[in-house]
Structure 1
Amino acid sequence: MRPAGRDTLDSLYFDYPHFDAPKRPATEAMSPVAIVGAGPVGMIAALTLAKHGVCCVLLDNKATFNDGSRAICVSRSSFHILDSLGVVKPFLEKSLGWTTGRSFYRGQQILEFAMPDGANEKFRPMYNLQQQYIEQFLWDSVAASDLIETRWQSEVVGLAEEDDFVRLQVTDPSGTYDLPARWVVAADGARSAIRRICGLRLKGENYEGRYVIADIRMRHDYPTIRRALFDPASRPGGTVLIHRQPDDIWRIDYQLADDESADEATREENVRAAVARVLRDIDHDGEWELEWWSVYSANTLLLDDYRKGRVFFAGDSGHIVPIFGVRGLNNGIADGHNIGWKLAAVLNREAGPALLGSYTPERRGATLDVFANATKSTRFMTPPSHGWRIMRDAALSLALTRESAGWLANPRQMTPYTYAESPATAPDDPAFAKGPIAGAMFQDVALDDGFLGDLLGRDFTLLVFGDGPAPEQAGLTVTRLPAKGAVAEIYGAEDGSAYLVRPDLHVAARWRRASEDGVRRALNAVLARQEEVA
């Protein structure tokens, strides 16, 4: 929503582009992959496919980007994905990195936490950036790719699965047509049309807590630190979150009381009054402008399976997670990257079709892990019952005099999920005493002239320590590292050790003492192939 007198896309700081409807070819050729939804998740999937040389068609029913700041917190793991796709530079230039969070109860600080950071990390734990910029920067790379055809103002209204492809029915301003594709990625959001057409429903838990989110522009010198206000004077009994964003834009999320109507709460005069009260809580008495606002509730919902035949669900089309711990966008980015490299491997005949069976256990497993952590935060931020509220308020009161109690307000920020039980992960080598286990995301390490992540190849990478084996194999980059030093120490490696890293930056296998035969067998098993594919 925008203030009276301003158009839906009339922003104080961002110029929304307009995308014309496509000029369709006379005959539709079979597309290897059709991606429905040109938001961050869909564009990540498209860029991942393009990185591996696979063409796709990207469809979206809008004529521009999503409005409002929406998802604003981008994690370190997502920045590694952006880096691997070669698109991270504008994100680093525009976003605001942060490491610290502070929580307050009735105006008194009860917690300050710092997320893990250090010289071995190429990226900060978290960055704040409005979703419009996230989409703009991804779009710049999508538009520059000859392998991605984007069709705006194109709505999928039907879907029929044939023996070895999917036939999408698409409507645009010039009419309706059929688009055949070998595979489909549904990245069309929480109100997914593909999910509805497939007859699927999200299942899980709806929470009572509702929040208004408001973007305002103001000059305010508070650093880029996540602030959580419990029971502040502005919202007695409620919770307020405050984040700094680029361009002097500040994001304020404030909880609605049980007896507040969402329709009434989102009237402009009521939003202005509520924001003004929050600003008094943080001692800001300067000028400010209202940019945009919306309302949301906290839910934990997901599909039973992220795949239906030749259709894969990514991002909010497959799962809805609470914002607490900033896991929604970051979980979706990992979805798009995961299914992108796997579809590319199958289409390029580098992997067997069974590789695609690992998508649901990996990414649905990641969602369940998010639920386990985010649910704890959600129950603390928005107690689901009177009993929960009594316990939460007691903990907050105790935190005023006992520092340890304040840690109950820790939001448990997003961390990458470990695919230890995945069919696309080899059993871990128990001989290691430290280092990322099989299934975990790789650990970056600072080198003399860069970072370890800079040495990872396009496909699979074998990190070989000392004189370990270096098999020559298509799709495998071999990177030799010293058997002593910072990397070997962090990875628990010795002369002859090796780590096999997947295209999505997760460890596929590791060996304390590697052999060429062991590497080949593990690679074939991870890629679900009986023998190497030329």
Structure 2
Amino acid sequence: MKIQETRMNRPFKPYPFSPRHHEGVAPPLVDGRDPLRRPVAIVGGGPVGMTLALALARHGVRSVLIEADDSVCIGSRAICISRRSLEIFKRLGVVQGFLQKGLPWAGGRSFYRDTEVFRFAMHHDDEQSLPPMINIAQYQIEQLLLDEVERHADLIGIHWQTRVTGIEPEPAKDSRAGPDSTSGATLTLRTGDTGWQMHADWVVACDGGRSTIREALGLKLTGTTYEGRYVIVDIELDSRRATERLAYFDPPSNPGSTVLVHKQPDNVWRIDYQLRDDEDPEAAVKPANVLPRVQSVLDSMGETGAWSPIWITVYKANALTLERYRHGPVLFAGDAAHLVPIFGVRGANSGIDDADNLGWKLACVVNGSASPRLLDTYSDERVFAARENLSYGMKSTEFMAPPSFAFNLMREAVLGLAERHAAVRPLINPRQTHAIAYTQSPLNEAAANTPGAFSRGPAPGSVLPECRLKRMEGGVSADIHLTDLLASCFTALRFGASSDSAQEHAWQELQRTLAGQGIAFKAVTLVTDETVYATSPTVIDHAGSLHERFDATPGTVYLIRPDGHVLARWRNGSAAATQRAIGAALTI
């Protein structure tokens, strides 16, 4: 195929982004060791590592990031950030940058050859404060997080250009200590020509799919590795086309295979196309082979503007996970813990969820308000979530890149029938990422819930749904959303103001008691009548929709974890029950 030189500009253009480069500097050493006590060392300064550092900082916990590179990443890599991840960034105080830079979208279209066969829309209504998804390149994600990390320099340190060459977990010094006790781990590091060691009470491996920590400990990922490969190409193209997910099956540009297209900020477009089994991956990423195929994709889309290539790489789908994410003082998160196929955008989003789950639990352990056994629930919950993500991701992968003749035959039949038969179209659904409920979490049982007391509403382990509300302050009301009430603390949602002064005093006393124990907590009262006031912060559910959705009556209490999941709920809640539930969770 001849390349149309008038429309494809050469040479390769740089990204419209100039990363800052950072020196690699080892700390002052004593006998080759860092003399400072490090509560938490996070290996890997990508989106997962930085999210975890920010989550710990919200609880006043110091951490140090160890990053092998000298800047944020190059290449678009992870490009889709889900509503759930945006909610996490909202609690961490960084969401505005994502909303300003990212391109929101709520659905997509799938084509078979030149015919549209499926259109999907993610849930989005007037109750939502955040879009279902935004497109934003990983280097932009990392820069936004890094900017916030640097604003917390008093709590978060970074060692750039520093590689881990070894790790040695240390047993508890007291032989009488229980199985959960640990003396931390020693990391062997290299910064430039300087080799040195760091001791940390806890080490979190966020160092990606080729995790050095995982390899050093001899741990293996298990699951499915797919033979199919995708070429990923970023190009610069000025187009007014709407932001949506576009999928092309058996298009003229890639006969027998698939193409995915995403619009990104700054006129950058991401094109992923599947390689046929007979194509050599090394040859496939050479510009001479990539650029004609990209031109054909753009021709089939009707894009006539000039374009320039920026970045080319190749990707192989994996559906793998560790069996456990805690190994003594070492914990795993993100791609170091699990590798999820790109279809359904679960990779970076699941890693951000890992960091959110681990952040508050590790902070409570470091601060002394929780037993180290709480970290086992991180493993329990996030391994469960990984298996859910892998299940959905494998289904999407088997449709996008059929692993056998039988799967390919099924896909061709579905695509061929979809134009005329609506009943088969849902089989084309890409199964986009969604918040996962920890329905079997040991924390739910520890919190002593009462099954059957509610006919609806978010059950323990679930993430809260969004809802519009009003907050009253000084006689002035302000529009807010339910997620605006959540922070990096336990939150009790109390439905209905109480006229019982003793009860109100008990809630105030609970907050003081927990604060004295180093446990962040707040109680919020929700009422339906603006004329009703309470001594605790009051929020107006003016239409009663939240009461209805939560099956709430006066006295109902929902206790929310710092990561936004429901810990417990009571038809007739109290400060005493709330205190017991928090205590049981932290000492599980």
Range moving further from structure 2, 130-139 or 465-474 = 465-474
**2: CA distance, partners of 1:408 / 1:61:** 42
CA contact (8 A) 1:91 1:134 kept: yes
CA contact (8 A) 2:24 2:162 kept: yes
The residue type paired with residue 111 of structure 1 is: F
**2: CA distance, partners of 1:402 / 1:389:** 19
CA contact (8 A) 2:11 2:308 kept: no
Name 2:549's counterpart in structure 1: 490
| Residue aligned with 2:442, SS | coil
Range moving further from structure 2, 402-411 or 287-296 = 402-411
- Structure 2 counterparts to residues 206-285 of structure 1, below 5 A: 206-285=225-304
Distance of aligned partners of 1:428 and 1:400 in 2 relative to their CA distance in 1, 3 Å threshold: farther
Q: Deviations over 1:229-259 (max 9, x none)?
A: 0111111110000101000111100010010
The residue type paired with residue 411 of structure 2 is: R
Name 2:486's counterpart in structure 1: 456
**2: CA distance, partners of 1:442 / 1:355:** 22
Distance of aligned partners of 1:304 and 1:312 in 2 relative to their CA distance in 1, 3 Å threshold: same
Does residue 15 of the first structure (1) align with residue 18 of the second (2)? yes
The residue type paired with residue 163 of structure 2 is: E
**1: CA distance, partners of 2:369 / 2:126:** 37
**2: CA distance, partners of 1:325 / 1:428:** 35
Range moving further from structure 2, 435-444 or 315-324 = 435-444
Range moving further from structure 2, 427-436 or 381-390 = 427-436
**2: CA distance, partners of 1:457 / 1:143:** 21
Name 1:447's counterpart in structure 2: 469
- Structure 2 counterparts to residues 299-314 of structure 1, below 5 A: 299-314=318-333
| Residue aligned with 1:33, SS | strand
| Residue aligned with 1:353, SS | coil
Q: How many residues are matched? A: 524
Q: Structure 1: any 5+ residue segments left out of the alignment?
A: 530-534
Name 1:26's counterpart in structure 2: 29
Range moving further from structure 2, 475-484 or 290-299 = 475-484
Name 1:394's counterpart in structure 2: 413
**1: CA distance, partners of 2:261 / 2:487:** 39
2:458 alignment partner, one of 426, 430, 436: 436
| Residue aligned with 1:519, SS | helix
Distance of aligned partners of 1:457 and 1:73 in 2 relative to their CA distance in 1, 3 Å threshold: closer
Q: How much has 1:191 moved relative to structure 2?
A: 0.5
Q: Deviations over 1:362-387 (max 9, x none)?
A: 10110000011111111111111001
| Residue aligned with 1:247, SS | helix
| Residue aligned with 2:317, SS | strand
**2: CA distance, partners of 1:78 / 1:458:** 15
Q: How much has 1:23 moved relative to structure 2?
A: 4.4
Q: How much has 1:208 moved relative to structure 2?
A: 2.1
- Structure 2 counterparts to residues 277-356 of structure 1, below 5 A: 277-356=296-375
Does residue 90 of the first structure (1) align with residue 149 of the second (2)? no
**2: CA distance, partners of 1:416 / 1:310:** 28
Q: Deviations over 1:335-360 (max 9, x none)?
A: 11111111101111221221111011
Q: How much has 1:26 moved relative to structure 2?
A: 3.4
1:76 alignment partner, one of 80, 83, 104: 83
Range moving further from structure 2, 136-145 or 447-456 = 447-456
Name 1:532's counterpart in structure 2: none
Q: How much has 1:516 moved relative to structure 2?
A: 2.8
| Residue aligned with 2:573, SS | coil
CA contact (8 A) 1:39 1:65 kept: yes
Does residue 132 of the first structure (1) align with residue 139 of the second (2)? yes
| Residue aligned with 1:167, SS | strand
Name 2:526's counterpart in structure 1: 481
**2: CA distance, partners of 1:166 / 1:422:** 28
CA contact (8 A) 1:429 1:512 kept: no
Does residue 525 of the first structure (1) align with residue 584 of the second (2)? yes
1:166 alignment partner, one of 185, 189, 213: 185
**2: CA distance, partners of 1:178 / 1:256:** 44
Distance of aligned partners of 1:215 and 1:429 in 2 relative to their CA distance in 1, 3 Å threshold: same
**1: CA distance, partners of 2:124 / 2:457:** 17
- Structure 2 counterparts to residues 27-46 of structure 1, below 5 A: 27=30, 28=34, 29-46=36-53
CA contact (8 A) 2:104 2:135 kept: yes
**1: CA distance, partners of 2:567 / 2:10:** 54
| Residue aligned with 1:496, SS | coil
| Residue aligned with 2:373, SS | helix
**1: CA distance, partners of 2:386 / 2:14:** 33
Q: Give the TM-score of the pair, scaled to structure 2.
A: 0.87
Q: How much has 1:331 moved relative to structure 2?
A: 0.1
Q: Deviations over 1:422-467 (max 9, x none)?
A: 1222346422122111001112211132111112243100000014
| Residue aligned with 2:455, SS | coil
1:149 alignment partner, one of 141, 149, 157: 157
Name 2:560's counterpart in structure 1: 501
Aligned-residue CA RMSD (Å): 1.5
**1: CA distance, partners of 2:64 / 2:487:** 26
Q: How much has 1:5 moved relative to structure 2?
A: 6.6
The residue type paired with residue 218 of structure 1 is: L
CA contact (8 A) 2:488 2:562 kept: yes
Q: Give the TM-score of the pair, scaled to structure 1.
A: 0.96
CA contact (8 A) 1:208 1:382 kept: no
Q: Structure 2: any 5+ residue segments left out of the alignment?
A: 1-8, 173-182, 471-478, 515-519, 529-540
**2: CA distance, partners of 1:286 / 1:161:** 56
**1: CA distance, partners of 2:452 / 2:374:** 25
Q: How much has 1:312 moved relative to structure 2?
A: 0.4
